[in-house]
């Protein structure tokens, strides 16, 4: 989708994403929905790789996934790997309406 030449929307105050951050320790697989927080800061310290399943494809949906644990988190869509987030790393995943893609992986 291309943008128009209309004036952009301006936010006159700092942006606050109340409820938009989830910080938790995980012991098993995680499944996100479109109601899940946009920012996921997860600690995987349970002794092995854990999977994080993304919700169905939806144009414009994004999630930041951070891993504070000692073991990898594998971000998946429909069983396919989108990104692997290592210890103390993060990934931004986004959907274009056709697929989930890793936009950024640190």
Q: What does the alpha-carbon distance between residue 57 and residue 103 come to, in Å, rounded to a whole number?
A: 15
Residue 96, sorted as left (phi over 0), alpha (psi -120 to 50) or beta, turns out to be alpha
Instruction: Report the pLDDT value the prediction gives residue 1, as an integer from 0 to 100.
Output: 59
Give me the average pLDDT of each 10-residue run along the chain (106 residues): 74 83 95 96 91 97 96 96 96 97 94
Handedness of CA 48, 33, 105, 98 (dihedral sign): positive
């Amino acid at each position: 989708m291309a943008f128009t030449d209309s004036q952009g929307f301006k936010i006159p105050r700092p942006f606050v994403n109340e409820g938009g951050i989830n910080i938790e320790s995980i012991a098993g697989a995680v499944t996100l929905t479109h109601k899940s927080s946009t920012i996921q800061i997860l600690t995987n310290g349970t002794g092995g790789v854990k999977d994080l399943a993304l919700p169905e494809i939806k144009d414009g949906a994004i999630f930041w996934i951070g891993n504070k644990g000692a073991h990898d988190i594998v971000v998946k869509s429909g069983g396919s790997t989108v990104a692997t987030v290592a210890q103390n790393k993060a990934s931004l995943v986004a959907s274009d309406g056709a697929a989930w893609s890793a936009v950024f992986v640190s």
